[in-house]
Amino acid sequence: MRPAALVTGARRGIGRATCAALAARGFDVVGADLSDDGAAETEAAVIAAGGSFRFLAADVAATAAHATLVEAAWDAFGGLECLVSNAGVGAMARGDLLDVSEASFDRCLNVNTRGAFFLAQAAARRMVAPDAPRRGPRSLLFVSSANAFMPAVDRGEYCVSKAAVSMVTKLFAVRLAEAGIAVHEIRPGVIRTDMTAPVAERYTARIEAGLSPIRRWGEAEDVGRAIAALAAGDLPFTTGDAFHIDGGLHLHRL
């Protein structure tokens, strides 16, 4: 039987690309998101790549429903070998750090950090159970951001939430290593998605001026392929690492 993956934020962007890339590497995929707007397109991409797809409506910030979400995903294909914690939100508005609202701060932390932590906890509990199938390599993958370590003062609350995801990754990596479950952080750079669309003109100019050594926009597929490679076990002797999918944005240069 094929291994199965649960991908949050699956109906568009990096989530959709990840679902398709996982299918191409032999996974069946359960996609979760707030609504099914775009889910049909994700399903088509998964099927075209050779996998099967199920969609579940879910809000990762609703931690009380995580156990139910994991069980539904588990039942869809008889187990889970991979969780991709991709769902995320940005700041309610970019602006002065001195004007960040508690509502925007809490929203970022609730979705990007708290939701990711407790969903990983629920999935890990199920994956370490004695009756859990092992149809291939097993992993938890957290999608953070270059802002996990690069400050952007116009969206400080987002940066804080993603920096916390880095520690969440390390914690689960240490806890789950003895169970044979690898845990990694993916740090996308400037990726062409709906989230970056409002600042596309600004970033296009910066990329052309050399913001990253590879002078192009990152595409969702760049991130999806990296996630799928890790989920498929292409790097079996590593855990707790952060993978920069950013065209070299993270490199310090003189």
As annotated, the active-site residues are 158
Task: Report which of 107, 92, 197 is spatially closest to residue 161, judged by C-alpha positions.
Answer: 107
Cα–Cα distance, 86 to 223 (Å, whole number): 11
Lateral strand order in the sheet of 82-85? 53-57, 28-33, 4-8, 82-85, 138-143, 181-188, 242-245
Polymer length of the chain: 254
Task: Report which of 208, 191, 196, 199 is spatially closest to residue 244, judged by C-alpha positions.
Answer: 191
DSSP class of 58:
-
Cα–Cα distance, 128 to 110 (Å, whole number): 25
Cα–Cα distance, 191 to 28 (Å, whole number): 25
- Characterize the bridge pairing of strands 82-85 and 53-57: unpaired
